[in-house]
Structure 1
Amino acid sequence: MAGPDPAAEGALKRPQPNFFTVLARRDFRLLWVGQLVSQIGDAFYWLALLITVNDLTGSTKAMGVTSVIVTLPILLIGPVAGVFVDRWDRRRTMIVSDLLRAVLVLFCILVREAQEIWIYWVVGFAVSAVGAFALPARNAVIPLLVEEDELLPANALSQTTQTLALIVGSASAGFVIGALGARVAFVADSLSFLLSALTLWALRVPPVREAVAQGLQAVGRQFQEGIAFIAQSPTVLALLAVGTVFSLAIGAVNVLWIPFLDRYFGVGPEGIGIVDASQGIGMLLGGSVVGNLASHFPHSGLVSGGLLILGAVTVALALSPTFAYILVLNGVYGLALTPMLSGLYTLLQRAVPNVKLGRVNAVLGALMRLANVLSMAGAGWLGEVVSIRTIYIVCGGLTLLSGALGVRILREPAPVLGGEGGQGPRSSAPGA
């Protein structure tokens, strides 16, 4: 008769990981602080950009063009950026990206009239192009700073951080823009990137050892490896299918959000900040539940269930009779959004070796962005000829379809661990 397994007993005695577990890790904590600061600045930047374009042009087409231009670099540059992220020092990549964006966003203060809107487009493209390197670098660093069973709370905290930024950034940005103008918001974003770079400077990231060939041909081969891995992984293929359908919906929702609030409810900058903050509060609650209570929930269920709720809420938003309904429904939307995204990122990180995570993440993101760009471009045109409420109902139906597809095809992957992927922290225990 076999005796007790000490490793199994230790695993049973180990408390369920939560937000405090991952925040006790010094380097993850530094990454978290940098993300919080820069994303508060991003909330200022994005809200200022959209409000100014809407005020200067009053056109949903201009809103669509702006959103498409800002998204294009992730589609065009993202896949190749992911290859370089896997080859470069990821910490240095994030720092340089922050410093470049700190300079670039300041050019937005030059815009004073509708004829100068092209400056927003050039700057937006450049900022997004640099960000195409920063985002896969950050996503690939997270599994190196926490244990494998801490990935869900780590990703939930990352989403909750985005939520805190949304609450603080959007609510304060709306009032700041209304009182002081958009230029102050652009300066605030620049300062946030500088503070983020300073925080990341102290970060220690364990090395990921992989033999890396040199030259453009080697880069091309690594790019092909990323695509080949996606094609061979049932989990990643399922995430691609579900994410693409959702991207077709969310692109239109985002482009038409400010015109929707303006046309039907007469909401100005201050009101937009309050609406976005209501979603942020919902995301904060959703992130807290996932990070502290749902570490052993099926990740595929979080994704599929979250999408089904998001689809139903989008339809309800389209039919909202008053502004009060918008506030409540947007909070419910946020409540479902954080668990869905946390589950999605955790599935990806568990299914992909860390040495390939940058390029796989970037290729996957670019393919989803293609659907996002098509949705935004179509919404910008349709918003001039079709009721925005009707477009939102269609988007809600697409989101429900993505959730049903997730129920059908998403499954839990076997985790990819240290030897091949280099996952898990190489530093000392939590609190070090």
Structure 2
Amino acid sequence: MTSDSRQPGYLELISGNINFRRLWLGNVVSLLGDWFNFIALIALVEELTGSPFAVGLIFVTKMLPGAIASPFAGYLVDRFDRRRIMIVCDVLRSVTVLGLLLVDDSSKIYLVYVLTTVQVIISAVFHPAQSASIPNVTSKTELLTANAIMSISWSVMLALGAAIGGLATDIVGPRDVFVIDSVTYLVSAWFIFRTEIPQSISTITGRFWRQSLREVRAGWEYLRQNRFCGKIATTKATWAIAGGGLVYMLALAGQQLIEGSPEIGIGVLFAARGIGTGVGPVLARAWVTDRSRWPPLLGICVVSSGLAYLLFGLLAWTIPIAFLVGIAHSTSGATWVLSSVTLQEKVEDRFRGRVFATEMLLVLVAETVSTLVAALALQYEILSIRQAIIVFAATMTVTGALWTVWILRR
């Protein structure tokens, strides 16, 4: 860790902080596999069912189990060794993904949802452990840079994973892609195994479920008493109220982007999403150094994301439209990083895991409901894809504006 008050550069932090570097490298490898997996799942379910609702259920399965598990995950992350938790999670996810190789016809489609549910529940434990560990391996001056690196990495891996994953799925099929994803989890576990993560661990008393429910309530109570942190913890969920449905419909729109190559079209739009979420935090870190301006900026970013998606819904869907997707997600990427850094700085270490788990619960519930509403509207032809995108984009714009007003009323 750096000891001076100067904010380090990206390469300086990666080269100078070995524990952060190892945590980051494990994250990069597993994220690349995840996005390979995601495109392959969409292609597999579309091929076996041809149903928009079945595709929508992939998005729901990627979110809802995590929403249910995340409060208990926060308890585990604050009470047990985070490094060991992440290693165990990576090994379990590696085994789970291999189960997708059993899905070879439509009668086994249920396995996609069952195995994805298991994978997501495990990830619901892994991700709060990772987020809560970043302040443990960085100094206060390194924290913003560290979070920006993590966000940029997520974005770059989304861009690369979606683009290459779309091509790989089109060329070799989903099965080989699932094997690649399994291997990436083992590589991630190896990097984390070599990482030292100091941590304050509270004493465990009582039975797990009873005590974990008590601790979940303690996390909610913490956010209720610390109203500013409570408001910041709702930022991502405010975006997700409409964002969940919009990201789901992005996959459907991608199928119409390039005639005869739906997987590649999905890859193009999701790659644009990845590039955008990478650029946004970089620009926010460079341009908005006064942290007192961050709270209203978060709401403005949500509004901007909604407006970009509104234009996406109104204009013709050709490859250049991917630019608007990048704009929409550059602002959402800035929202994610700035809100995460604020919570990491303001929340005590012993509560941090529960707060991040609570925040993730809000995000996943909002995304799940949003995706289900969009999928049902399309399945029953209440709205066309284009109409639904316009409605959801307008909703995001309004909710972002309302949140901005709320955060300014301190």
Fold shared, TM-score > 0.5 on shorter chain: yes
- Shift of residue 30 of structure 1? 0.8
Q: Is the 8 Å Cα contact of residues 102 and 190 (structure 1) preserved in structure 2?
A: yes
Give 1:394's match in structure 2, choosing from 391, 394, 403: 391
Cα 1:242/1:336, change in 2 over 3 Å = closer
Counterpart position of 1:4: none
Give percent identity, aligned residues only: 28
Tell me the secondary structure at the aligned position of residue 199 of structure 2. Answer: coil
Counterpart position of 1:403: 400
Task: State yes or no: 1:18 paired with 2:9.
Answer: yes
Give distance in 1, aligned partners of 2:321 and 2:11. 33
Q: Is the 8 Å Cα contact of residues 246 and 398 (structure 1) preserved in structure 2?
A: no
Counterpart position of 1:331: 326
Give distance in 2, aligned partners of 1:319 and 1:359. 41
Give 1:104's match in structure 2, choosing from 96, 121, 134: 96
Superposed counterparts of 1:344-355, under 5 Å: 344-355=339-350
Counterpart position of 1:122: 114
Q: Any unmatched runs of 5+ in structure 1?
A: 1-10, 414-432
Q: Is the 8 Å Cα contact of residues 290 and 339 (structure 1) preserved in structure 2?
A: yes
Counterpart position of 1:378: 373
Give 1:195's match in structure 2, choosing from 170, 187, 195: 187
Q: Max radius of gyration: which structure?
A: 1
More deviation, 109-118/86-95: 109-118
Give distance in 1, aligned partners of 2:42 and 2:244. 14
Give distance in 2, aligned partners of 1:17 and 1:301. 26
- One-letter code aligned to 2:170: G
Counterpart position of 1:318: 313
Counterpart position of 1:36: 28
Tell me the secondary structure at the aligned position of residue 372 of structure 1. Answer: helix
- One-letter code aligned to 2:196: R
Counterpart position of 2:222: 229
Cα 1:402/1:239, change in 2 over 3 Å = farther
- Shift of residue 376 of structure 1? 1.4
Give distance in 1, aligned partners of 2:67 and 2:160. 29
Cα 1:295/1:212, change in 2 over 3 Å = farther
Task: State yes or no: 1:75 paired with 2:61.
Answer: no
Counterpart position of 2:164: 172
Give distance in 2, aligned partners of 1:218 and 1:20. 42
Q: TM-score, normalised by structure 2?
A: 0.92
Two-structure CA RMSD over aligned residues (Å): 2.2
Superposed counterparts of 1:154-173, under 5 Å: 154-173=146-165
Give distance in 2, aligned partners of 1:295 and 1:288. 12
Counterpart position of 1:417: none
- Shift of residue 295 of structure 1? 4.3
- Shift of residue 311 of structure 1? 0.7
Give distance in 1, aligned partners of 2:74 and 2:128. 6
Counterpart position of 2:295: 300
Tell me the secondary structure at the aligned position of residue 255 of structure 2. Answer: helix
More deviation, 230-239/379-388: 230-239
Structure 1 runs (4+) deviating above 6 angstroms are: none
- Shift of residue 190 of structure 1? 0.4
Cα 1:401/1:240, change in 2 over 3 Å = farther
- One-letter code aligned to 1:381: L
Q: Is the 8 Å Cα contact of residues 255 and 265 (structure 2) preserved in structure 1?
A: no
Counterpart position of 1:423: none
Counterpart position of 1:244: 237
- Shift of residue 60 of structure 1? 1.2
Q: Any unmatched runs of 5+ in structure 2?
A: none
How many residues are matched?
402
- Shift of residue 373 of structure 1? 1.4
Give distance in 1, aligned partners of 2:341 and 2:398. 22
